[in-house]
A = this chain, B = another copy of it.
Amino acid sequence: MSEPVLEPTTDRGRATRQALLDAAEEVFGLVGYNDASIGEITRRADVAQGTFYVYFPDKRAAFSEVVRQVNRKVRHASTLGTEGAVTRMDAEKGGFRAFFDYIEAHPSIYRIVRDAEFVAPEAAGAHYEAWARPYAAALREAQESGEFADGIDPDLLAHLLMGLSEFFGQRLPRWESLGREESIDQLLLFVERALTADDPRSHTVKRVMNQGDNK
């Protein structure tokens, strides 16, 4: 006697469902999973409270889907930032910046991503894994080509970089004294050093040293 909660068949149904999903994203982002109430969601979606349960079996299921939706968007935005890059390091920088731009424009998704870890771990996990796979592959390539230093498992590396970007992205405002751009630059410098095991700010100097050494 299980409930069905089917995919909608009509356009009207699909529209309502999406309206609910969007409203849910808003509310979850604003007040977090626990304080989000179905009532507030349906109010914003302009439907009756019961309608929620036409499309989602319960609050968690809706949240889980919101998480997937949000992650899809984030990933998309980040990926856009990597396009056109020549070196892998440039791709990294572009990806990081695009991610920061996106998260700054949609600050509430942070809350969703955080809650996801406990409320919808399956969705959260899937997101990280889905992201990590191609990311790690790209990193491995860069290691093999010599652009990046090796000695660190690419999968681990991918997670470290995701963690850094998330952590930093969520705290960007903290460094307003340093300035948004400057703090991003410094973060990227940190990342570059870690990846290349080399100080880009003293390239010329080192090169000279190295040349001397090589003799």
Q: Which residues of A contact B (CB under 8 A)?
A: 1, 3-4, 31-32, 34, 37, 39-40, 43, 111, 114, 117-118, 149, 151-153, 155-157, 159-160, 163-164, 166-168, 171, 174-175, 178, 183, 186-187, 189-191, 193-199, 201-202, 209, 212-213
Q: Are B199 and A153 within 8 A (Cβ)?
A: no
- Expressed in whole angstroms, the Cα–Cα distance for A27 and B43 within the complex equals 33
Query: How many copies of this chain?
Result: 4
What is the predominant secondary structure among interface residues of chain A facing chain B? helix
Q: Are B40 and A189 within 8 A (Cβ)?
A: no
Least CB distance from A46 to B in Å reads 13
- Expressed in whole angstroms, the Cα–Cα distance for A168 and B156 within the complex equals 9
Least CB distance from A115 to B in Å reads 9
